[in-house]
């Protein structure tokens, strides 16, 4: 066997040794199997660098179209931003932009925020003022209001928390900001929920249609079904970018992204995914995931000693098994091939119902859960 | 035509409209055309997330092998690190690790450092103490020595500057640190030079074989020929990671990378590239680039009104045309299809001789340069 075949053979063998999305048993991932067309698109642009706009002008064009598509989805055709490597880069970027446009250094962050927000605050030297959650594990707007003061740089809300898919009350908080009379940035981390909430009926207001939302993280590589790496960050307008724009002293352009070299292939893959699926397609995909989530909930209600941590708004369900050590149940489920994880707060088994999970998978999972808790 | 064909058709048309590495006229990029095997490897692992080690254990294995391979190349089998999205993430990470392991806040940075170092310092609230360059545009070790004091957190050197491929005197600075008696981190940004210098004969000492080097940035997606995104950061030992290690409260593992979700495809592509090319292959590739660089230099010496900014140690040449506006010459060359860029400091035309540039390309470039400067 030649060297090329040998290496690829080994890689295929290794990949075969790990779980596959197609089997429907991965219930702890917020990513899913990307489309063939996206991989093909990646290949076409695999040798391009989105940083080098003077060479690869078409990548810049594709990226603008992606950001336009997403901006449109988020009720702001004029939003500016870029395709990041994921939600963490997007959150760091958004907080960095806030910091560079203000002298204040406190951010109010509900306790359910993604860990990348704490990481970003640590990097950037921002002080986190934690805000409480309500009984549904959403940010408590009243507690946020009490914490707003003249040092408040911004507020970070989540539209689809990592633990439970909870959607913070963005509209209430946007109103609070108007009433406060302070200039406060409002960042919405919709890494997970950004490709779900716009397709729900009835919808939830969480994006740029709300007056005070200044930036949004939204990951095409989560419910947008694009291949990793594909995150996105959008700013309300491009004037916020002035403070972070620089001209590399050896290249003929300005840049304002956090990363330098960026994959043109990932941008092409995102473009292909957005345009191939389209708004109608996402409506169907989200509809299917929500239907399966409802099925999961109704089946759970038939089981003894099982409760939901909260009524899910999106496609994540927290399962609390009373009278048992939940981590033991996760292990037992793991032995049956189910990939589920354990939430710390609240203590529960976390199940994400992604597009790769079918109705049959849910019913099969319920059977196994019944046996593991019985 | 169906939707899929339509989208891919458009993407192929767009890609065809921009320059291609195969044409040999891209002289301003530090990336190159990735190998077919790397794209194939990306495909095999395209649906995997390196963050989710509890699902994709094989990606973790591949990444450890990549870091082991690179650590070996850099004289430290025990080095720990990860595959980043590029040099910027690697530099931010390295400075972040420094900061979290010390109370000092000053870093000494020669004026030729990559702009991402300034960006990282800005993010992290570190104070940059600039250090002068010598006549060859390398860091002046004497000036660094004068700037070392009890507030010095670290020193950032470059092994292959973006402008001219200059290699800072890492060995001298490592010795300085020993003599200073201070605990000072030494980060080497070898994003560009890391896949060149180890294959040069005679070599230049720049890596972990030098006692005080604590971290290294090295980009497989530059001279390592891996597809974008593929950077890497290596730390001398894993105890430096303790301060930044966290446990996501909804996932069953610890993590210490700057990014959260990370492309398993990119890791597999890096693995395939490193193993397919191998040390012997890189020796040949680097040898070819250096030979073409010498050819370029000797042909330049035959041209009137043309001088080199410095004697190149790596495969980047700065061309100074006297009696002409260099930016006009870049424009004229651009009209003939050459992608070259202009350095600010020193003012010169920057030519990177990558593996996609052949002997014939060099001769053809010289002909065009002669006509454009004549």
Q: How many whole angstroms from its chain centre is CA B233?
A: 11
Tally A–B CB contacts below 8 A.
259
Highest CATH level, class, for B36-276: alpha beta
What pLDDT was estimated at residue A323? 84
- Nearest residue, CB atoms, A263 vs list B41, B229, B344: B229
Q: Is the dihedral of CA B125, B127, B130, B131 positive or negative?
A: negative
Chain A positions in Cβ-Cβ contact with residue B343 (cut-off 8 Å): 249-250
- Which tens digits make up the pLDDT trace of A221-231? 999 999 999 99
**Confidence check: pLDDT of B98 > 90:** yes
Is B262 within 8 Å of A339 when comparing Cβ atoms?
no
For every residue of A71-112, DSSP letters joined together read HHHTT-TT-EEEEESSHHHHHHHHHHHHHHT-S--EEEEETT
**Confidence check: pLDDT of A186 > 90:** yes
What CATH topology corresponds to B19-33+283-373?
3.90.1150
Average of per-residue pLDDT across A161-177: 98
Is B18 within 8 Å of A61 when comparing Cβ atoms?
no
Chain B positions in Cβ-Cβ contact with residue A61 (cut-off 8 Å): 14
- What tokens appear for B11 in the block? 């993407």
**Confidence check: pLDDT of B324 > 90:** no
- Which tens digits make up the pLDDT trace of B190-237? 999 999 999 999 999 999 999 999 999 999 999 999 999 999 999 998
- What tokens appear for A173 in the block? 């908080």
Element (H, E) at A318: strand A316-321
Helix (H, G, I), strand (E, B) or coil at B349: strand
Confidence of residue B353 (pLDDT cuts 50, 70, 90): very high
Q: Which of B260, B331, B351, B352 to mutate to test the interface with A (most CBs of A within 10 A)?
A: B260
Is A58 within 8 Å of B15 when comparing Cβ atoms?
yes
Average of per-residue pLDDT across A233-243: 94
In CATH, what is the architecture of A19-32+280-373? Alpha-Beta Complex (3.90)
Average of per-residue pLDDT across B271-300: 98
What pLDDT was estimated at residue B323? 84
Q: Are A96 and A258 in contact (CB under 8 A)?
A: yes
Order of strands across the sheet that contains A80-84: A80-84, A231-235, A213-217, A185-189, A152-158, A106-110, A127-131
**Residue ranges of domains in chain A:** 19-32+280-373, 36-276
What pLDDT was estimated at residue A345? 86
Which residue from B minimizes the CA distance to A274? B7
CA atoms within 13 A on the CB side of A115: 19
The C-alpha atoms of residue A145 and residue A155 are separated, in whole angstroms, by: 10
């Amino acid at each position: 066997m030649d060297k090329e075949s040998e290496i690829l053979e080994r890689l295929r063998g290794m990949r075969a040794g790990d779980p596959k999305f197609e089997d429907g048993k991965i219930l702890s991932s917020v990513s899913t199997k990307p489309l063939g067309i996206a991989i093909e698109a990646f290949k076409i642009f695999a040798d391009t660098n989105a940083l080098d706009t003077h060479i690869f002008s078409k990548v810049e064009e594709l990226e603008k179209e992606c950001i336009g598509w997403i901006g449109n989805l988020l009720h702001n055709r004029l939003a500016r931003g870029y395709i990041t490597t994921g939600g963490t880069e997007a959150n760091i970027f958004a907080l960095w932009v806030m910091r560079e446009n203000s002298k204040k250094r406190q951010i109010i962050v509900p306790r359910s925020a993604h860990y990348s927000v704490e990481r970003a605050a640590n990097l950037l030297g921002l002080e986190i003022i934690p805000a409480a959650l309500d009984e549904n594990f959403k940010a408590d707007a009243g507690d946020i209001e009490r914490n707003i003061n003249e040092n408040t740089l911004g507020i970070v809300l989540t539209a689809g928390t990592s633990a439970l898919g909870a959607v913070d009350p963005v509209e209430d908080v946007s109103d609070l900001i108007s009433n406060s009379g302070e200039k406060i940035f409002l960042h919405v981390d919709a890494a997970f929920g950004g490709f779900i909430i716009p397709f729900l009926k009835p919808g939830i207001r969480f994006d740029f249609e709300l007056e005070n939302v200044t930036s949004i993280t939204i990951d095409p590589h989560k419910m947008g079904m694009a291949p990793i790496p594909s995150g996105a960050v959008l700013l309300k307008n491009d004037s916020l970018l002035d403070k972070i724009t620089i001209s590399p002293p050896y290249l003929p352009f300005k840049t304002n992204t956090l990363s330098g070299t960026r994959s043109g292939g990932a941008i092409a893959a995102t473009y292909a995914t957005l345009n191939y699926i389209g708004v109608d397609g996402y409506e169907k995909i989200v509809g299917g995931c929500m239907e399966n989530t409802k099925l999961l909930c109704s089946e759970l209600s038939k089981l003894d000693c099982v409760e939901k941590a909260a009524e899910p708004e999106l496609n994540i369900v927290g399962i609390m098994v009373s009278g048992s050590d939940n981590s033991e149940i996760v292990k037992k489920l793991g032995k049956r091939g189910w990939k589920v994880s354990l939430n710390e707060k609240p203590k529960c088994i976390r199940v994400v119902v992604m597009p790769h999970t079918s109705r049959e998978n849910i019913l099969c999972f319920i059977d196994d859960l019944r046996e593991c808790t019985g």
